[in-house]
Amino acid sequence: MKTIDDFNFSGKKALIRVDFNVPLNPEFEVTDTNRIEAAKPTILKVLEDGGSAVLMSHLGRPNGKVVADMSLKHICNAVSDIIGVQVKFAEDCVGEKAVKAVEELEDGEVLLLENLRFHAEEEQGDAQFAESLSHLGDIYVNDAFGTAHRAHASTTIVAQYFPGKKCFGYLMAREIESIDKVMRTGEKPVTAILGGAKVSSKITIIENILDKVDHLIIGGGMTYTFIKAQGGRVGSSICEDDKMSLALDILEKAKAKGVAVHLPVDVLAADNFQDDANTKIVPVNEIPDGWQGLDAGPKTLQDFEKVILASKTILWNGPVGVFEMPNFAKGTIAVGHMIEDATDKGAFSLVGGGDSVAAVKQFGFEEKVSYVSTGGGAMLESLEGRVLPGIAAIMKG
């Protein structure tokens, strides 16, 4: 795996694919700078070597049209503040304006190209567009894990124009290594905690990780499909009736592979889907009609804690309750603390995928786990066992 450390950028222009698809408020101020901060070490490495950095990214979904509100010029000041270097801006990402801006770029300087998705060819993976991009740098660096699952011009196709001169940035390298620790090289016992609402959205992940894990903890809304499939009463809880046979099949496969599956034994049930609903703790398989399970119960959390604290490698993908409502966030917070404790004891912990990342950030666990993935869709596809096009393009050498 070639990383940025395999190159010296002295006198070179690094064409870096970053993921600066950041949220903006109505005043066009960046409200979450995490993605920019994540790219900083890679950019600084190029500058410290004595090279210059040409940054390319998308922002939003302009669908191949120029949309003023989605111009990357809005984030130039934020990038400058975070990197500590005044970032220059090119009014296009290909063509005369881009070429001229790159030609004028001196060592130690940073240039941000305009939104790639102002050109429909970006998402189409157009080879001619990718070739035009390739003229803007001497070495191609992919540091945009969040888009690595897309075979777009800037994330995948452009790499073919840099034979022997392409590599992963620090962020991409860490993402790949972290997933590899869970899926291949992790110290046993390996535990996967899968939450979220639906079994259907996690089927391929579950099937792919059964060969890699020793323990599978299932929480959140998909609990109730498993419980009902085994004859339990789940009241008004979310349940995919058409996936019950699949749930039983998963349990059978896990048993055959020697994977211990841990389902909730009790839940915090509510009489409606509101934070101020009436609540009570009930056995997970005896939820009364009109009531729905919205969080893990105390006995369940005790069971989960024993497994998590004994683990050496932990993957957390999905909350174990409706954490967006304070009264039903306690289970997810408790699991966060368990993973924090296990990490303190030397376990490797990876958090990835939409809601679990949101929960980790909301409850302050970001610095208390080993790694929080920056790529939702890319992370999930990696866990499903797919080879991401953006990664494969660099690996080809």
Write out the two tokens for 215. 């323990």
DSSP state of 193: E
Query: Which pLDDT score, from 0 to 100, does residue 355 have?
Result: 82
Q: Report the alpha-carbon distance of residue 88 to residue 112 in Å, rounded.
A: 6
122 a known binding residue? no
* CA 85 vs CA 15, 20, 51: distances in Å: 17, 17, 13
Buried b (16+ CB within 10 A) or exposed e, 225-259: bbbbbeebbbbbbbbbeebbebbeebbeebeeeeb
Measured between its terminal Cα atoms, the distance across the chain in Å is 9
Q: Is 186 annotated as a binding residue?
A: no
Predicted pLDDT of residue 330? 97
All domains in the chain, ordered by first residue: 4-172 (3.40.50.1260), 186-383 (3.40.50.1260)
What's the pTM?
A: 0.88
Q: How far, in Å, CA of 308 to CA of 120, rounded? A: 46
184 as an active site residue: the answer is no
Q: Take residue 303 and report the two structure tokens written for it.
A: 């069971």
Residue 92 assigned as binding residue? no
pLDDT of residue 18: 97
Considering all CA atoms of the chain, what is the largest pairwise distance in Å, rounded to the nearest integer?
70
In the set 64, 108, 376, 377, the catalytic residue is: 377
Q: Which residues sit opposite 296 in a β-bridge? A: 267
Is 174 an active-site residue?
A: no
User: Mean pLDDT over all residues of the chain?
Assistant: 95
What pLDDT, on the 0 to 100 scale, is given for residue 385?
A: 84
pLDDT lower than 50: segments of the chain: none
> 345-374, pLDDT tens digit by residue?
999 999 987 688 889 989 999 999 999 987
Q: Tell me, what amino acid is at 288?
A: P
Would you state the pLDDT for residue 82?
97
Give the torsion through C-alpha atoms of 199, 177, 336, 344, to 10 deg.
Answer: 150
186 annotated active-site: no
The catalytic residue among 40, 198, 299, 312 is: 198
- Residue for token pair 């959205």: 201
Which tokens in the block code for residue 321? 């309750």
Which of 88, 79, 69 has the alpha carbon at shortest distance from 44? 79
Cα-based distances in Å from 246 to 1, 26, 196, 225: 37, 45, 17, 9
Q: Which pLDDT score, from 0 to 100, does residue 354 have?
A: 63
Q: What's the one-letter identity of residue 136? A: L
Is 20 marked as binding a ligand?
A: yes
pLDDT for the residue numbered 109: 98
Q: Is 171 annotated among the ligand-binding residues? A: no
| pLDDT (0 to 100) of residue 130 | 98
Give the pairing type, strands 266-270 and 292-296: antiparallel
Give me the pLDDT at residue 134, please. Answer: 98
Catalytic residue, from 2, 97, 253, 354: name it.
Answer: 354
